Structure 1
Amino acid sequence: MKTITTPIIPIKQLFANVKTPHTLNYEAICVFTAIGFFLDQDAYWKDKIALKPGTTYTLDGNGEVTTSKENFRWHYEPRNISFKTAVTEFTELFETIIKEQSGTNTVLLPLSGGLDSRTQAVALKHLGAAVHSYCYSFENGFKEHEIGRKIAEVCGFRYDPFIIPPNYLWDVIEEVSSINDCYSDFTHPRQIAVLDDFKRMQGEFSLGHWGDVFFDRGFAAADEKYSDLEIIYKKVVKKGGMAVASKLWKAWDLDGDFESYLKQRIQDLLDKIDIPHRESKIRAFKSLYWAPRWTSVSLTFFENAHPIHLPYYDDRMCRFVCGIPEAYLADRKIQIAYIKNRNPNVAKIEWQDQMPYNLYNYKDRQLLKTFSYKVKNKMQREINAVLGKKYIQRNWELQFLGEENDGHLRGYLYQPDFLNFVGKDVVDDLYQKFKTEDAVFYSHSMSMLLTLSVWYRKLKTL
């Protein structure tokens, strides 16, 4: 017998066996292609399940589940405390977690233009940790690495900027598919492009994933008019996701229609979350199903190089968030206050989501300043376009566009065995729409078909 207790938000996917025939879980694979991750306990096979977060399992000698007991349930029980007290408590907890996780190691810190890693940078600076920081930017894209550089300079951190080049995927796709076992696509995680650089570094990663979910609104104010199901559905279904999933559903002759199936799955999971407060309920849903099955899968690429730590994933942080009033969590208030209190100079650096403003003036927008920034950006893009430099906003543009990329993509999509598995009509239709109708919309379809193609080829070689 073996006992496994999963964290509230697991860093790793853990699987077990169940007594059922060893057959492909076609319904689960369709959901995977629609939303980019496997939902709840789904896996490629019906006799394999992912262990739920916050649960203790007993497994027998065959790795099959014999008992399970939930040991944490998401809730919303806001304490009657002031905002100042909430910030003080966050400061003490966050810095305690950071200190425990970093120990005496050099911290490898990915910086961005947002607030999660910036909050970490401030804590690490305050604690006097040794930090090797870095940042990514797309080639011919937004220069996020310049914001990262400013944060590193203010904090006195060693800093490396990484420019994500085109066409890198095809040289590493077999390696990365072995790392993540094809449980997420290969075109979104930028860290794939710099795996060798990671391995040359010395230290342990401190990653800021899930801070934006804990310390912001459960959903946008504009979505208040929608039901919980509609909010989740709109959030998780990718552009082009329904197109590929519905086609696979029909090609595999599954019962009913895919959209109804997916909505019922989501509604069933929402019904199990006993939280009347809507924003907290949506946050709990994301933490139960999105974080461990999508966000955590991409963490495997970091872990392939060095140990990883996630302060926002810590069980204590999960419990802390459940007791903080939503008004304090919304709009990044706690993180902003923390950064301004601990390191005003870091707070003065531009915030990417609110460019060209920082944490002190983002609410005090000036028409001329905003207009000037937009004009300057537009002019730079137009100049680059004349020079033949396409502005890159999304990672798939570096991997799918252009003749060389297209040749690699077709090589995977049009493998005979894979065409027999998903149906040539499915691949033909989605590929042609990507090429001739709307590349942005159908890029996700291409990404998921590529993922399935790599997975299926590995399956056939076993």
Structure 2
Amino acid sequence: MPKITTSIIPEKQTVVAIKGEPESLDLKAICVYIATGFFLDNDTFWKHKKVLRPGTENVLDENGYLVSSSQYFNWVYNPDETLSFSDTVDAFGELFEGVINRQVEDKKVILPLSGGLDSRTQAVALHKLGKEVSSYSYSFKNGYPEGKIGKAIANQCNFEFEEFIIQPNYLWSNIERLAKINECYSEFTHPRQMALIDHYSKMGDVFSLGHWGDVLFNDMEVPKHLDVVQQVEVLFKKVVKPSGMQLAQKLWKHYGFEGEFKDYLFQRVKMLHQAIDIEDDANARIRAFKSIYWAPRWTSINLNVFSEVKPITIPYYDNEICKFICKIPESYLAKRAIQIEYIKRRNPALAKIVWHQEKPFNLYTYNYNKSPYNLPYRVYSKLNRMRKAIMQKPLVQRNWELQFLDDSSQLELKDYIFQNSIVPKELISEVHNNFNQKDKVYHAHAVSMLLTLSLWDKLYNK
């Protein structure tokens, strides 16, 4: 019988059939999907189809039905207290460079560069390994010029570099193509890479993507001994989008389910979180939850845009990196300490380039990003935003701001979201009106979920 082994953090989801389940929509799962932007655990749009869980060995019968599934990896927290921080940084460097070398081999690497630490860490490793790299950055039109940081990193490493500005309204000419690439398992407003999909094929042979480094190599900013219910409350706030919750609760009632949707979702998250066998540190347990349930079902979905064009590698997803994290004391992971020290040791010049999250400071000075040291930059930044507002060029910080706001986009959006057989028209109209007449930032998620669900309904609900 066929066997499928899933990675600890899968880069692609594998959907299998479940014998005996009705071939009908899973409306409870769809409510969760609307509230969060992704499907929870092994849910799909259908009751008779499930996604194979991470870190499992699965047996299918000759007809493709799932026969059995067993876990071969569980996230744990077994810190090696004998390792010093310095030795840990050395161990990380050796492991990370080995992973990247194994993944990319002698191929020309396509490296997206942001202003953060994950891609910068990759740049350090690729430069040390002597790999041929074609790098790029993208910024929103009228957004923060993140490409300046990417260009500085590329220049320091002698990488090829291109800077792209993401233009308004690219989504509408690509929307059905995108729906087929990610199969509508995640909302449409995040994947900026879709704007460049036809350009990637000219850049190199294989992507090296920096996803999930910011989760694995950081703390979750909670007290070590936070109790489980409080941990679930933290997770709930992280995964639930307020306007999505609002819409999901109304759909829950419309479908006739008992009780309150919010209680149902909270209990599901609580059950999944309690099953993680980590007692010693709340940060490690929350990180594990996110790596099991968030990374494969949200982060991984839009990686399909990259893999549609070229093979992808994701060093932070590597099984050996995940196992490494389980042995590292939380005190070493906190505040991105390992990556920061690795960059400083391997390439001090890259450490002196602005860190976007702590701008205008760098990896040597970011601790000064507090009053009074950051007051001059805060004043400058506020004046710059005011100037743009006066010029009617407000700062663009989110992809949907480029796709949903002008007149032609409004027509496209309305045309798509009302073609939806799963959500009643009165609810669609309410969400659409709220977005147009009230707080757009608050209601954008619900609109985006309606758009994604409408595309799924059109293309896949046969």
TM-score, structure 1 normalization: 0.97
| Aligned counterparts of 2:373 and 2:199: Cα–Cα separation in 1 | 38
Q: Deviations over 1:289-339 (max 9, x none)?
A: 001111111110000010000111010000000000000001000000000
Contact preservation (8 Å) 2:5, 2:58: yes
Instruction: Identify the residue that residue 166 of structure 2 maps to in structure 1.
Output: 164
Is 2:340 the partner of 1:344? no
Q: 2:450 is paired with a residue of what secondary structure?
A: helix
Is 2:254 the partner of 1:251? yes
| C-alpha displacement of 1:222 | 11
Instruction: Identify the residue that residue 362 of structure 1 maps to in structure 2.
Output: 366
| C-alpha displacement of 1:220 | 4.3
Contact preservation (8 Å) 1:139, 1:163: yes
| Aligned counterparts of 1:288 and 1:273: Cα–Cα separation in 2 | 10
| Aligned counterparts of 1:45 and 1:365: Cα–Cα separation in 2 | 48
Contact preservation (8 Å) 1:111, 1:133: yes
The correspondence for 2:402, drawn from 394, 398, 402, is 398
Contact preservation (8 Å) 1:223, 1:231: no
Is 2:119 the partner of 1:123? no
Corresponding residue pairs, total: 458
Amino acid at match of 1:352: H
Instruction: Identify the residue that residue 418 of structure 2 maps to in structure 1.
Output: 414
Structure 2 counterparts to residues 261-410 of structure 1, below 5 A: 261-276=264-279, 277-365=281-369, 367=371, 370-410=374-414
Is 2:246 the partner of 1:240? no
Amino acid at match of 2:294: W
Amino acid at match of 2:243: G
| C-alpha displacement of 1:136 | 1.1
Amino acid at match of 2:275: K
Q: 2:57 is paired with a residue of what secondary structure?
A: strand
| Aligned counterparts of 2:23 and 2:206: Cα–Cα separation in 1 | 39
| C-alpha displacement of 1:218 | 2.6
Instruction: Identify the residue that residue 79 of structure 1 maps to in structure 2.
Output: 80
Amino acid at match of 2:118: D
Q: Deviations over 1:387-418 (max 9, x none)?
A: 22121011111111121111011001122xx1
Contact preservation (8 Å) 1:58, 1:67: yes
| Aligned counterparts of 2:452 and 2:183: Cα–Cα separation in 1 | 10
Is 2:217 the partner of 1:215? yes
Structure 2 counterparts to residues 17-32 of structure 1, below 5 A: 17-19=17-19, 20-32=21-33
368-377 vs 56-65, greater mean Cα deviation? 368-377
Q: Deviations over 1:91-135 (max 9, x none)?
A: 100000011111110110000010000000000011110000001
| C-alpha displacement of 1:369 | 5.1
| Aligned counterparts of 2:458 and 2:368: Cα–Cα separation in 1 | 54
| Aligned counterparts of 1:219 and 1:339: Cα–Cα separation in 2 | 23
Change (3 A) 1:424 1:357: same
Contact preservation (8 Å) 2:138, 2:147: yes
| C-alpha displacement of 1:224 | 5.2
| C-alpha displacement of 1:63 | 0.8
| Aligned counterparts of 1:359 and 1:374: Cα–Cα separation in 2 | 19
| C-alpha displacement of 1:223 | 11
TM-score, structure 2 normalization: 0.97
Instruction: Identify the residue that residue 62 of structure 1 maps to in structure 2.
Output: 63
Instruction: Identify the residue that residue 2 of structure 2 maps to in structure 1.
Output: 2
308-317 vs 356-365, greater mean Cα deviation? 356-365
5+ unaligned residues in a row in structure 2: which ranges? none
376-385 vs 354-363, greater mean Cα deviation? 376-385
Change (3 A) 1:217 1:246: same
5+ unaligned residues in a row in structure 1: which ranges? none
400-409 vs 316-325, greater mean Cα deviation? 400-409
| Aligned counterparts of 1:281 and 1:302: Cα–Cα separation in 2 | 30
Is 2:48 the partner of 1:47? yes
Q: Deviations over 1:123-154 (max 9, x none)?
A: 00111100000011010011111111110111
